[in-house]
Amino acid sequence: MDRLLWRFGALILAAGLLATPLAQAQQAALAAPTAAELTQRLARIARGTEGESVAFDRLVAATDKKLVAYLKARDVSATVAKNLGLGYGASPDSARLKVFSYTYSSGGTRGTITQSVLQWKNRAGQRFAYVAHEEGGFGNIYKLPSPGRTQYLLLGSEQGSSICVHSLAWLIELKGNYLLLDKQAFDNKPLLDICNVELTYDARTRTLAVAGGSPFGDPDVYAEEPFRPFKLYFSQGRFIKK
């Protein structure tokens, strides 16, 4: 869990130095690997454990860059992603935001760590990709009703410890070549991250409900105050409390 929070904390620090929303520049271009090379790398990572060696950590960092290069070079279907050893999710609209993920062992009570990479296209059909700074698998992608903008809500989860499964909500905006992050997307927070809750988005009412009832344990287990269910309403490009 500490690594999850540290990586997102680094993103918050960077965002604090810039006006909102934060534009994520493209990562440095590399030669695209072959499918065979990428598959081999992901298989090696799947057999490893976070922090087991400097070499393993370097392998993960280098593979992230290789995966970005691969996704910039080609379209990848759900079938191809599976053959590569990647998880896959896609938005239902024409912009076709895609989320690819892979996992490896944490070596502790977290179980597995999930790394996600986002791919999208601009209006000219040019592909872009970026490694997510939030560890977690985002299995649900919703196109949000934002006139003149292209915004998505991503919902997912990540094991944090033996008593906490993080429920995650992330709002992103695609603007041509850039992926934009908003420091105030969720009631003045950049990311919704709460242990052991159920996140449900109702597209009809534009409402994100946060409720207990998770099978993993007590909701918001580390909070000092008792958890109370609440709802956030999507308005003017952000989720605010109703």
In a domain, 104, yes or no: yes
In Å, how far are 59, 167, 237 from 107, measured between CA atoms?
A: 17, 21, 39
- Is 95 a member of any domain? yes
Is 46 domain-assigned? yes
- Per-residue model confidence (pLDDT) at position 19: 40
Tens-place pLDDT, residues 120-142: 998 888 999 999 877 888 989 99
Q: What is the pLDDT of residue 8?
A: 39
Secondary structure in 3-state letters for the chain: CHHHHHHHHHHHHHHHCCCCCEEECCCCCCCCCCHHHHHHHHHHHHCCECCCCHHHHHHHHHHHHHHHHHHHHCCCCHHHHHHHCCEEEECCCCCCCEEEEEEEECCCCCCEEEEEEEEEECCCCCEEEEECCCCCEEEEEEECCCCCCCEEEEEEEEEEECCEEEEEEEEEEEECCEEEECCCCECCCCCEEEECCEEEEECCCCEEEEECCCCCCCCCCCCCCCCCCEEEEEECCEEEEC
Residue 190 lies in a domain: yes
Does residue 210 fall inside a structural domain?
Answer: no
Q: What is the mean pLDDT of residues 146-161?
A: 92
CA distance to 134, 170, 192, 202, 237, per residue, from 186 (Å):
15, 9, 6, 16, 10
Domain span at 143: 2-195
How far apart CA 135 and CA 152 sit, in angstroms, is: 18
pLDDT at 100 > cutoff 80: yes
- Total domain count, the chain: 1
* pLDDT value at 1 more than 50: no
pLDDT band (50, 70, 90) for residue 46: very high
Any domain includes 80: yes
The string of pLDDT tens digits covering residues 224-239 is 999 999 999 999 999 9
In a domain, 201, yes or no: no
Residue 21 — pLDDT band, cuts 50, 70, 90? low
Residue 82 has pLDDT above 80, yes or no: yes
List the structure tokens of 138: 């985002």
Does any domain span residue 150? yes
Instruction: Assign 110 a pLDDT band (cuts: 50, 70, 90).
Output: confident
Average pLDDT score over the chain? 85
Q: pLDDT at position 14, please?
A: 33
